[in-house]
Amino acid sequence: MSSRFVLCEYEKLRETYPWFNEVMANLEAALIAKARKDWSSLAFSPPGIWPTDEEFGKCTIMPQLFNNMSGARLITWNQNLTALGHQTLMTGAATGGRIAEDYKVGICGLMFLDKALRVTEIKMQISDSKIPRINIEEMMGYNKPAVVFENYWILDEEKGFDLYGYVEAVGPQRIKPIGLQVNRVPNKLQVSNTGAALQ
């Protein structure tokens, strides 16, 4: 897939880049189609946010599917960057940096929820696909800076995910993937228990 991208302020994304709605619609369609194929015993009822035991569900991306820089599971998108230079910023929370079984994540970008951007370059590895280095230093003056791809990637269950970055300043940084996820077992989401880790 193409790794072309734009750097922008997330809040202005929809008004400045109308193709973003099409990318999100394509991502959602592809993610649901893959889940229907792989989880063929389960149905999907749009919008998918109240699935029954016989259905898979859909929701925003949950931080608990990822580990932070220090290898601890994220509970929120908040993390503390503790070392300078080339670092692993985020990985899948399952063993070996993989996405946990029973989850599939679709991403089409990353947003930084702070005005203070402490990272100047990023790169990703999704399973055996490598997304090359992206210099994001020019976004340092942006409000909620975002890297938005003109295409999308699906982080499949039990496949690896790594986000690397060049850290120029230690301190807090909130990094959030842009996209959505599907869930094979609704009860594993623990949506009624705030702060709970996914199993």
* pTM for the full predicted model: 0.90
Any domain includes 197: no
Diameter of the chain by CA atoms?
48
Q: State phi, psi for 117 to the nearest 5 degrees.
A: -90, 115
Any domain includes 196: no
Any domain includes 194: no
3-class SS of residue 164: strand
Any domain includes 106: yes
Q: State phi, psi for 23 to the nearest 5 degrees.
A: -60, -45
Any domain includes 198: no
Per-residue pLDDT reduced to its tens digit, 33-79: 999 999 999 999 999 988 998 999 999 999 999 999 999 999 999 99
Question: CA angle, corner 196, sides to 180 and 79, nearest 5?
Answer: 70
**Contact (CB, 8 A) for 152 and 107:** yes
pLDDT for residue 189: 63
Between 36 and 150, name the one with better pLDDT.
Answer: 36
pLDDT for residue 169: 96
Average pLDDT over residues 150-156: 93
CA atoms within 13 A on the CB side of 143: 3
Which amino acid is it at 58?
K
Distance from the Cα of residue 47 to its chain's centroid: 20
Per the listing, tokens 């599939």 go with 104
Q: State phi, psi for 45 to the nearest 5 degrees.
A: -115, 105
Structural domain span for residue 30: 5-188
pLDDT for residue 192: 47
* Overall number of domains in the chain: 1
Average pLDDT over residues 9-37: 91
pLDDT for residue 61: 96
Any domain includes 199: no
Between 131 and 3, name the one with better pLDDT.
Answer: 131
Any domain includes 195: no
Any domain includes 193: no
